[in-house]
Structure 1
Amino acid sequence: MRKRLAALAIGLGLLSAPAMAQVDLGAGFSLTGTATAATDYVFRNISQTRGRPAVQGALELSHEIGLYVGAFASNVAFAGTDARQEVDILAGYRRSIGSFTFDIGGIAYTYPGYSRQPGQQEISYFETMLRLKYELDPVTFVGTAAWSPNFFGRSGDGYWLEGGVDVKLPVLDITLSGRLGYQWIERNARFGTPDYLAYSVSATIPIRYGFAVTAGYYGTDISQRECGGLKVCDNRFIAALTWTF
């Protein structure tokens, strides 16, 4: 099945979203959140909405010791299925030591309302993830490693490696971002694509009142033929408006 290649605005990397605002709840707890309207929703640069707009929300509850839990929701549109929404649950531990930050956690990707038809596979799955960040102002280096024991569409082991850099410019606080990643899938025929390279460049501009605009170019090395004749793997420009609260 080719339908489902994440990220979450918190932690998964849908777009180069700005850092979320924090609401202090007392006793060491804080709440962060985002709401996003985008021209498309891509996960590892494959469209989850078949090139259509997406409306998304994310919340994270964290404690000062480093533990956190969160959730993400978005509309989706997978060809040949009745899946129309995605709800993800995540939890983990995040800690900063000087300029270095590590984040280790797990994510459950679920699709409420999806009903598996004859010949189709279950599409919900679980993934463990390690994210690293090193800040060397005005440059931030980031890296991600993820593993699923049974990836989307019951396609077996799935591995994802990604590296990137964010550069904050002195003009309008613009942040330029670049990412390069690779997805390995054990059962490519069941998933619907070969293993592939993903790359992106984007710019994020903060506005006011917690709003920011992101625009970028997202691509893969998957041909349309290798993507089952669908356009969801095509290279594309995406714009998004994000509100942090």
Structure 2
Amino acid sequence: MFKKIAALALGFGLLAAPAVAQVDLGSGFSLTGTVTGTTDYVFRNISQTNNRPAIQGSLELSHETGFYIGTFASNVAFPNTNARQEVDAIGGFRYTFAEAFTVDLSAVYYGYPGYSEQPGQNQIAFFETVLKLKYALDPVTFVGTAAWSPDYFASSGDSWWLEAGIDVKLPIHDIVISGRVGYQWIEDNARFGAPDYFAYSVFVTVPIAYGFSAAVGFYGTDISQSQCGGLKVCDNRFIGSISFTF
């Protein structure tokens, strides 16, 4: 039975990127935080909340040397399980060369406090290493991500995620139009609950004021509903969100 929900594939996709605004703590340290309300929480374009809204928060403590630690939390809803929240731990190093090229290497542990596996179910917590690359050529920014897990969601074994994208800042109100394409490979597709898949998205981010911003986008995969255990969590969808960043 758990195979039918394993395609929910958890994690890092909506974890807020480091914000421009930061709280200076002195001695080279700074703190950044984001609170988000969203109509759906998707990770790699698969719903983590069974197509329902989510409230999320993230914090990052960084040092001018490039090292940082952080956390991300969100409500989740996986059918036929008692998983109700996700709390992640992140640590890494980020460095920018010549004010244009940024390398970000991190380790992420995706935890689900309160979850207890029932007969026929698998452990859903997992670990990933994530490499992010960014090249800024104003007003265009090119981004790429590679993530590897030795034992992915639902103990589904070795996995790889590759993603490429572009952000274009418009001269009107600093509006940003973004596009992403990615592919997820999983060693044990039967245990994961879905085949390897292609993901794609287009979204727009609009700064408002006082640290607030709004976003709306379209997110999709090439997984059919029958390949997703009969669930709608892999379907194409529109998502809207409001964020506050400090």
* TM tier, smaller: over 0.9
Shift of 1:4: 2.2
Instruction: Decide which of 7, 14, 19 is 2:13's aligned counterpart.
Output: 7
Instruction: Establish whether residue 182 from structure 1 lines up as the match of residue 183 from structure 2.
Output: yes
Shift of 1:197: 0.2
Q: What is the alpha-carbon distance in structure 2 between the residues aligned to residue 117 and residue 212 of structure 1?
A: 40
- Residue 230 of structure 2 is matched in structure 1 by 229
Contact 2:225 2:234 (8 Å CA) reproduced = yes
- Residue 24 of structure 1 is matched in structure 2 by 24
Whichever residue aligns with residue 8 of structure 2, its letter is K
Contact 2:19 2:32 (8 Å CA) reproduced = no
Matches within 5 A, 1:207-222: 207-222=208-223
Alignment length (residue pairs): 239
Contact 1:125 1:151 (8 Å CA) reproduced = yes
Q: What is the alpha-carbon distance in structure 1 between the residues aligned to residue 176 and residue 7 of structure 2?
A: 32
Q: What's the secondary structure of 1:21's corresponding residue?
A: coil
Alpha-carbon deviations, 1:115-160, whole Å to 9, x = none? Answer: 1100000000000010000000000000000000000000000100
Q: What is the alpha-carbon distance in structure 2 between the residues aligned to residue 19 and residue 47 of structure 1?
A: 24
Alpha-carbon deviations, 1:186-220, whole Å to 9, x = none? Answer: 00000000000000000000001100000000000
Shift of 1:60: 0.1
Q: What's the secondary structure of 1:190's corresponding residue?
A: helix
Contact 1:20 1:34 (8 Å CA) reproduced = no
Q: What is the alpha-carbon distance in structure 2 between the residues aligned to residue 158 and residue 109 of structure 1?
A: 15
Matches within 5 A, 1:104-143: 104-143=105-144
Q: What's the secondary structure of 1:2's corresponding residue?
A: helix
Identity over aligned pairs, percent: 66
TM-score between both structures, scaled by the size of structure 2: 0.95
- Residue 152 of structure 2 is matched in structure 1 by 151
Instruction: Establish whether residue 74 from structure 1 lines up as the match of residue 80 from structure 2.
Output: no
Instruction: Establish whether residue 35 from structure 1 lines up as the match of residue 35 from structure 2.
Output: yes
TM-score between both structures, scaled by the size of structure 1: 0.96
Q: What is the alpha-carbon distance in structure 1 between the residues aligned to residue 173 and residue 159 of structure 2?
A: 39
Q: What is the alpha-carbon distance in structure 1 between the residues aligned to residue 227 and residue 51 of structure 2?
A: 18
Shift of 1:233: 0.1
Alpha-carbon deviations, 1:39-71, whole Å to 9, x = none? Answer: 000000000001100000000000000000000
Alpha-carbon deviations, 1:73-109, whole Å to 9, x = none? Answer: 0000011100000000000000000110000010000
Structure 2 unaligned blocks of 5 or more: 1-5
Whichever residue aligns with residue 116 of structure 1, its letter is E
Q: What is the alpha-carbon distance in structure 2 between the residues aligned to residue 148 and residue 227 of structure 1?
A: 21
Shift of 1:8: 3.7
Instruction: Establish whether residue 165 from structure 1 lines up as the match of residue 166 from structure 2.
Output: yes
- Residue 15 of structure 1 is matched in structure 2 by none
Contact 1:3 1:79 (8 Å CA) reproduced = no
- Residue 204 of structure 1 is matched in structure 2 by 205
Matches within 5 A, 1:83-102: 83-98=83-98, 99-102=100-103
Contact 2:37 2:241 (8 Å CA) reproduced = yes
Whichever residue aligns with residue 32 of structure 2, its letter is T
Shift of 1:20: 4.5
Q: What is the alpha-carbon distance in structure 2 between the residues aligned to residue 166 and residue 235 of structure 1?
A: 21
